[in-house]
C-alpha cells in the first residue's frame, strides 16, 4: 500500500476519535495535577487505551502515575510519549493536556497500520515533566531499552514537523559568608551576596560568547 493511503487511513482514524480526544484533553486541563500526582489524568488515559484494545501496565519504573500501553508485537517498536502534569499555581500552561490526548490518539489511530505491517505501538505515560523529569527515572529503569523510535508533539503557535531540542545540565552552587562588624572590622567579613552577584555577572557575560543554540540561566533558590 502506498504511503499516502496509509497516512489517509490514520488521518481518518484520528477524525473518528476527534470528540473523544477533545473531551479527554479538556478533562485533564480542567483537573490540573502536579508532577507524580497525576492520578486522574493517568487513569483517564489508560482507560481510553484499554477501551481501544491496548495492553496497559500501570506504575512502571517505580512511578505510580507512569504507564506503558502496547498494541502489536515485535519490532519496530514505535513509542508515543504522553505528558500530563501541570504547573504549580498555573495549571496546564504548557499544554500537556494536548500532548497526552495527541499521544493516545496517535497510538489508537496507528492500530490498523500495525495490523497490516507488523511491529508494535507503545504509548508511554511520562509523568512529572515539569521540574522533576519523570522520563529520567524511566530511562534509568530501562523503559526505553527496546524502543526503536520515540515521538511526541508539543503545542506551539505554528506547525512544524520537527524541532531541535536542548539537553539540560544543572549545577547547584552555595555561597557561605562570614559575619563581621561592618564599621570596626569589615576586613574580617566574607560577603556571600557579593560573591553570588559576581558569579551571576560573570556567567551573564558569557552569553555573548557561547553558541547560538546554547542557553545559560540561573536562579536564586534560597537566601538567608
Q: What is the pLDDT of residue 126?
A: 98
Q: Report d(CA 55, CA 33) in Å as an integer.
A: 25
Q: What is the pLDDT of residue 213?
A: 86
Tell me the chain's radius of gyration from C-alpha atoms.
23
Q: What is the pLDDT of residue 131?
A: 83
Q: What is the pLDDT of residue 57?
A: 98
Residue with cell 477524525: 15
CATH 3.40.630.10 in the chain is located at: 3-151
User: 157 CB contacts (<8 Å, ≥6 apart)?
Assistant: none
Strands (E), the chain: 55-58, 67-73, 77-82, 119-125, 149-151
Q: What is the pLDDT of residue 40?
A: 98
Q: What is the pLDDT of residue 191?
A: 94
Which among 143, 149, 145 is positioned nearest to 78, based on CA atoms? 149
φ, ψ dihedrals at 78, nearest 5°: -105, 120
Q: What is the pLDDT of residue 1?
A: 60
Taking CA atoms, 106 is separated from 12, 79, 109, in Å, by 11, 10, 5
Q: What is the pLDDT of residue 212?
A: 86
**Residues of the chain scoring pLDDT < 50:** none
CATH number of this structure's domain 3-151: 3.40.630.10
Amino acid at each position: 500500500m502506498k504511503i499516502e493511503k496509509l497516512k489517509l487511513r490514520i488521518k481518518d482514524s484520528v477524525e473518528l476519535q476527534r470528540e473523544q480526544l477533545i473531551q479527554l484533553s479538556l478533562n485533564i486541563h480542567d483537573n490540573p495535577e502536579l508532577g507524580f500526582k497525576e492520578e486522574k489524568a493517568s487513569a483517564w488515559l489508560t482507560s481510553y487505551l484499554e477501551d481501544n484494545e491496548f495492553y496497559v501496565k500501570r506504575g512502571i519504573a517505580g512511578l505510580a502515575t507512569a504507564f506503558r500501553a502496547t498494541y502489536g508485537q515485535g519490532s519496530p517498536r514505535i513509542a508515543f510519549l504522553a505528558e500530563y502534569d501541570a504547573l504549580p499555581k498555573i495549571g496546564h500552561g504548557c499544554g500537556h493536556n494536548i500532548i497526552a490526548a495527541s499521544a493516545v490518539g496517535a497510538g489508537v489511530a496507528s492500530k490498523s497500520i500495525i495490523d497490516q505491517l507488523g511491529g508494535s505501538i507503545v504509548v508511554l505515560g511520562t509523568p512529572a515533566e515539569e521540574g522533576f523529569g519523570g522520563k529520567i527515572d524511566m530511562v534509568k529503569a530501562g523503559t526505553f531499552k527496546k524502543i526503536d523510535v520515540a515521538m511526541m508533539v508539543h503545542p506551539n503557535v505554528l506547525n512544524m514537523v520537527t524541532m531541535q531540542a536542548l539537553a539540560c545540565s544543572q549545577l547547584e552552587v552555595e555561597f557561605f559568608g562570614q559575619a563581621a562588624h561592618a564599621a570596626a572590622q569589615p576586613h574580617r567579613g566574607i560577603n556571600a551576596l557579593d560573591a553570588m552577584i559576581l558569579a551571576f555577572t560573570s556567567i551573564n557575560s558569557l552569553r555573548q560568547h557561547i553558541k547560538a543554540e546554547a542557553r545559560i540561566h540561573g536562579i536564586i533558590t534560597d537566601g538567608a
